[in-house]
């Protein structure tokens, strides 16, 4: 797939306002003898005419000129839209008026091109717009013959997200986000333009959608439902804009769109299947790749929201500039500058990041919602302002608090989004029943405190920049006993084996049997309305008659799986006084399994083979390493600063969402 290239058409590389949909055929050069080459445009309610200087852009239904204002002599852009389309033999008045009305609604944001005036003369509609002298981002990338550097893209992405968030709040969907609809002004700030495809999301009628944006930027649901077929299933308009943001980010970083193919049909197929890759031999951080992957999801509700995007680690864990200059392309200077980035203070970048969010209209996401407890606020402030050696000034403590608010809101938005997916992504395929409220309450508390510990550890690690301790310092931490094998029989009985080779069964009435291998004995366990669970220990030599058949079935299961390999090593109890472990509840979701054990919460992910356990009241985390089949255990705070967290971050986010759902749900 070739990089972005300018089509071979006549174009002034000076100041311009570029409109979308550049035609494949060369543009006709406007003769200076033509009536409209250097004309004045008289508007009845103005003292003088607009002076038309030169053509600076052309779209499929419009031409854009540079003009001077009648009274202020300010240089502006004038977009000329003929009402009658003689080629298609249609009247476009209603379409043009709709674009004007939508532009009126979204006026007032720093990163949206301002519409100053509009009027109609001789069956032609005119829109007077702010002029962006640097041209479109598409033009800039084509002229410089390079993609943007990550720190340049960061600033523009925050501004783009601020603009899209603004229009989405007004229930407007842009529907044609792309590089050529992103202008850069003289201060190198982003300006979103062209609302010709936009519509009000609350007024959308799936049966009347008949126009779309640019093919390379279309979302899978639009192509699947409205182009390749006529299913007209549920449409997610705002999430389609999010998809386009992901395409824009990819194009900024890699100088090409991800799904482009030799034919339009192939491009559509690539988009529907989300079939793309990253450019090889290009120095790009894993964090920006991961962000792109989290936006370009086939399922609309799996895509990050605006808040989740702007709070992503990619923005604030490395250099963030206070300004950028896209017009300069001094490779030697840039190379020298990039070598100095590693020495830039975290708080210098954090300051620029927070200020950019505020300038982009996203300040509302940096404030704790609701009535925050004042005493707690004071404690947080003292903590962040240096009492614990975290920051050096009140100013930086404020930025840390704002970042924490943003991350908390992002987590809530993620839970809200995935909550909508709970019937699919968190669809329960199988679960053991547990009809005793006290037992369910204990399980909900276990999930709640584990979630609390995960969030707290992430927060502290972010503040202190704590890093992974040495392997020697954590080698003494013992891994918990975990489930190594699980099997459900046709009669609904769940059989499982633990990593210490104890074997258990959970029966449809929620009662359990646990055979303790080392002691040649077994436990009978059942839920209780007062204590949650009660149990009784039996020596194998004195088995009650009613348990003989049940215990025989357990032994048979143990013999059947004796040669089955496991991703977990054999783990023994520390002492004979250590409590025996049993499985309280088992839940199988679409993509992972949750084991609620008496000592831990264990998550098994089928796609990667990852096994993660949170134990010791949420203070420790254990996970298997696929390379040498061992289980590594460390404090949660140390885990968040480790390289292993980068590998398992996606899984941790799924665990958080699952725990949030489990703390609020009743028995399912």
> Shortest CA distance to 616 belongs to which of 596, 635, 643, 594?
635
The mean pLDDT value of the chain amounts to: 80
Q: Within a domain: residue 33?
A: no
Q: Within a domain: residue 259?
A: yes
141 and 209 co-located in one domain: yes
Instruction: State the average pLDDT over residues 610-620.
Output: 89
372 and 281 co-located in one domain: no
C-alpha to C-alpha distance for 640 and 457, rounded to whole angstroms: 7
- The predicted pLDDT at position 636 comes to 86
Question: Of the candidates 393, 420, 447, which is a domain's last residue?
Answer: 420
Q: Name the one residue in this structure whose structure tokens are 């894993």.
A: 286
- The predicted pLDDT at position 339 comes to 52
> Shortest CA distance to 363 belongs to which of 353, 354, 352?
354
- Higher-confidence residue of 323 and 383: namely 323
Instruction: State the average pLDDT over residues 135-142.
Output: 90
DSSP-assigned letters across all residues of 259-327 = T--SSHHHHHHHHHTT---PPTT----HHHHHHHHHHS-SSGGGSPPHHHHHTSHHHHSS---S---SS
- The predicted pLDDT at position 362 comes to 95
Q: Strand 124-129 to strand 190-192: parallel, antiparallel, or no bridges (unpaired)?
A: unpaired
Q: pLDDT category, 461, cuts 50, 70, 90?
A: confident
Which stretch of 67-81, 205-219, 270-284 has the lowest confidence by average pLDDT? 205-219
259 and 363 co-located in one domain: no
C-alpha to C-alpha distance for 316 and 597, rounded to whole angstroms: 37
CA distances from 37 to 15, 82, 122, 452 (A): 17, 16, 17, 67
C-alpha to C-alpha distance for 532 and 596, rounded to whole angstroms: 14
* Residues tagged in the binding site annotation for ATP: 79
Express the helix, strand and coil content of the chain in percent, nearest 5 each: 40, 20, 40
Grouping H, G, I as helix, E, B as strand and the rest as coil, residue 584 is: strand
Q: pLDDT category, 381, cuts 50, 70, 90?
A: very low
C-alpha to C-alpha distance for 79 and 64, rounded to whole angstroms: 4
How many Cβ atoms from other residues are within 10 Å of residue 626's Cβ?
13
Q: Within a domain: residue 1?
A: no
Q: Within a domain: residue 192?
A: yes
364 and 484 co-located in one domain: no
Q: pLDDT category, 205, cuts 50, 70, 90?
A: low
> Shortest CA distance to 105 belongs to which of 186, 53, 166, 156?
166
Grouping H, G, I as helix, E, B as strand and the rest as coil, residue 65 is: strand
Number of domains in the chain: 3
297 and 303 Cβ atoms separated by less than 8 Å: yes
Q: pLDDT category, 336, cuts 50, 70, 90?
A: very low
266 and 350 co-located in one domain: no
Which stretch of 86-90, 353-357, 534-538, 635-639 has the lowest confidence by average pLDDT? 86-90
pLDDT tens-digit profile of 467-519? Answer: 545 444 455 577 888 998 899 888 889 999 998 889 999 998 889 999 998 88
277 and 185 co-located in one domain: yes
Which stretch of 74-83, 185-194, 204-213, 404-413 has the lowest confidence by average pLDDT? 204-213
Q: Within a domain: residue 431?
A: no
* Residues tagged in the binding site annotation: 79
Rg of the chain (C-alpha set): 31
Instruction: State the average pLDDT over residues 311-340.
Output: 73
Q: What is the DSSP letter of 136?
A: B
400 and 307 co-located in one domain: no
> Shortest CA distance to 407 belongs to which of 482, 348, 346, 460?
460
- The predicted pLDDT at position 184 comes to 93
Long-range contacts: 514-522, Cβ < 8 Å, 24+? 514/580, 514/582, 515/551, 515/554, 515/555, 515/558, 516/580, 518/572, 518/573, 522/547, 522/551, 522/554
Q: Name the one residue in this structure whose structure tokens are 């649901």.
A: 221
Instruction: Read off the tokens for 480.
Output: 């918990």
Which stretch of 19-23, 430-434, 556-560 has the lowest confidence by average pLDDT? 19-23
DSSP H or E segment with residue 440: helix 437-464
Q: What is the DSSP letter of 112?
A: B
Question: Of the candidates 262, 286, 316, which is a domain's last residue?
Answer: 316
Q: Within a domain: residue 76?
A: yes
Q: Within a domain: residue 22?
A: no
- State percent of the chain over pLDDT 70: 77
- The predicted pLDDT at position 463 comes to 64
Domain of residue 347, residue span: 331-420
C-alpha to C-alpha distance for 473 and 590, rounded to whole angstroms: 37
**CATH number, domain containing residue 188:** 1.10.510.10
523 and 607 co-located in one domain: yes
Question: Of the candidates 392, 420, 448, which is a domain's last residue?
Answer: 420
Q: Output phi, psi for 666, to 5 deg.
A: -90, -175
- The predicted pLDDT at position 402 comes to 87
CA distances from 77 to 50, 55, 341 (A): 11, 9, 38
E strand spans, 483-598 = 483-488, 494-498, 503-506, 512-516, 521-528, 532-539, 583-589, 592-597
CA 315 remoteness from chain centre: 13
C-alpha to C-alpha distance for 24 and 8, rounded to whole angstroms: 9
- The predicted pLDDT at position 419 comes to 66
Q: pLDDT category, 383, cuts 50, 70, 90?
A: very low
290 and 376 co-located in one domain: no
105 and 167 co-located in one domain: yes
- Higher-confidence residue of 337 and 452: namely 452
How many Cβ atoms from other residues are within 10 Å of residue 594's Cβ?
21
Q: Within a domain: residue 174?
A: yes
C-alpha to C-alpha distance for 464 and 474, rounded to whole angstroms: 19
- The predicted pLDDT at position 256 comes to 93
C-alpha to C-alpha distance for 519 and 540, rounded to whole angstroms: 9
- The predicted pLDDT at position 16 comes to 37
C-alpha to C-alpha distance for 543 and 545, rounded to whole angstroms: 6
CA distances from 141 to 146, 148, 182, 255, 407 (A): 6, 7, 12, 7, 32
Q: Which residues of 150-163 are buried (b: 16+ CB within 10 A; e: fewer)?
A: bbbbbbbbbbbbbb
295 and 188 co-located in one domain: yes
212 and 183 co-located in one domain: yes
């Amino acid at each position: 797939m070739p990089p972005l290239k300018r089509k071979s058409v006549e174009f002034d590389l000076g100041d311009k306002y570029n409109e979308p949909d550049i035609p494949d055929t060369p543009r006709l050069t406007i003769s200076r003898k033509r009536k409209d080459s250097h004309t004045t445009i008289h508007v009845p309610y103005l003292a003088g005419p607009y002076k038309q200087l030169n053509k600076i852009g052309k779209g499929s239904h419009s031409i854009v000129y540079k003009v001077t204002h009648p009274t202020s002599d300010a240089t502006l852009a004038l977009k000329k839209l003929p009402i009658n389309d003689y080629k298609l033999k249609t009247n476009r008045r209603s379409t043009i008026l709709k674009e004007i009305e939508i532009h009126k609604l979204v006026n007032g944001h720093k990163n949206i091109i301002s519409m100053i005036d509009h009027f109609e003369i001789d069956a032609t509609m005119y829109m007077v717009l702010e002029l962006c002298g640097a041209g479109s981002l598409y033009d800039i990338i084509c002229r410089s013959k390079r993609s943007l550097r990550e720190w340049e893209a960061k600033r523009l992405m925050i501004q783009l997200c601020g603009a899209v968030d603004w229009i989405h709040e007004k229930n407007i969907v842009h529907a044609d986000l792309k590089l050529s609809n992103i202008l850069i002004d003289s201060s190198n700030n982003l300006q979103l333009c062209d609302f010709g495809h936009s519509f009000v999301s609350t007024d959308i009628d799936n049966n009347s959608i008949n126009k779309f944006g640019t093919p390379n930027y279309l979302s899978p649901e639009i192509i699947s439902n409205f182009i390749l077929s006529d299913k007209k299933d549920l449409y997610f308009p705002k999430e389609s804009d999010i998809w386009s943001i992901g395409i824009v980010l990819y194009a900024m970083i890699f100088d090409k769109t991800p799904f482009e193919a030799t034919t339009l049909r192939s491009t559509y197929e690539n988009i529907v299947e989300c079939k793309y890759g990253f450019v090889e031999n290009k120095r790009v951080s894993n964090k920006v790749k991961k962000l792109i992957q989290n936006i370009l999801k086939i399922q609309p509700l799996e895509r990050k929201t605006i808040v989740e995007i702007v709070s992503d680690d990619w923005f604030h864990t490395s250099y963030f500039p206070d300004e950028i200059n896209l017009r300069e392309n001094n490779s030697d200077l840039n190379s020298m500058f990039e070598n100095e980035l590693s020495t830039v203070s975290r708080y210098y970048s954090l300051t620029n990041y927070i200020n950019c969010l505020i300038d982009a209209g996203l300040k509302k996401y940096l404030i704790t919602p609701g009535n925050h407890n004042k005493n707690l606020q004071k404690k947080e402030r003292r903590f962040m302002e240096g009492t614990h050696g975290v920051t050096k000034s009140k100013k930086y403590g404020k930025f840390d608090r704002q970042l924490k608010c943003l991350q908390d809101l992002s987590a809530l938005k993620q839970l809200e989004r995935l909550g909508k997916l709970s019937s699919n992504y968190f669809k329960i395929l199988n679960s053991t029943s547990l009809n005793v409220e006290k037992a369910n309450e204990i399980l909900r508390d276990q999930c709640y405190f584990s979630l609390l510990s995960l969030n707290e550890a992430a927060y502290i690690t972010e503040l202190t920049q704590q890093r992974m301790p040495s392997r020697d310092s954590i080698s003494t931490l013992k891994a918990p006993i975990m489930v190594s094998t699980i099997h459900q029989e046709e009669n609904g009985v769940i059989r499982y084996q633990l990593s210490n080779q104890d074997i258990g069964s959970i029966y449809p009435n929620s009662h359990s049997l646990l055979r303790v291998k080392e002691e040649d004995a077994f436990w009978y366990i059942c839920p209780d309305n007062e204590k949650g669970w009660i149990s009784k220990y039996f020596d194998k030599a004195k088995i009650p008659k009613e348990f003989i058949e049940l215990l025989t079935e357990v032994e048979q299961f143990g013999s059947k799986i004796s040669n089955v390999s496991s991703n977990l090593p054999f783990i023994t109890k520390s002492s004979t006084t250590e409590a025996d472990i049993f499985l309280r509840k088992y839940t199988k979701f679409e993509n992972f399994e949750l084991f609620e054990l008496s000592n831990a919460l264990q998550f098994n992910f089928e796609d990667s083979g990852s096994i993660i356990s949170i134990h010791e009241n949420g203070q420790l985390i254990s996970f298997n390493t696929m390379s040498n089949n061992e289980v590594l255990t460390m404090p949660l705070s140390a885990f968040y600063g480790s390289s292993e967290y980068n590998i398992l971050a996606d899984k941790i986010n799924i665990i958080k969402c699952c725990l949030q759902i489990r703390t609020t749900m009743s028995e399912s």
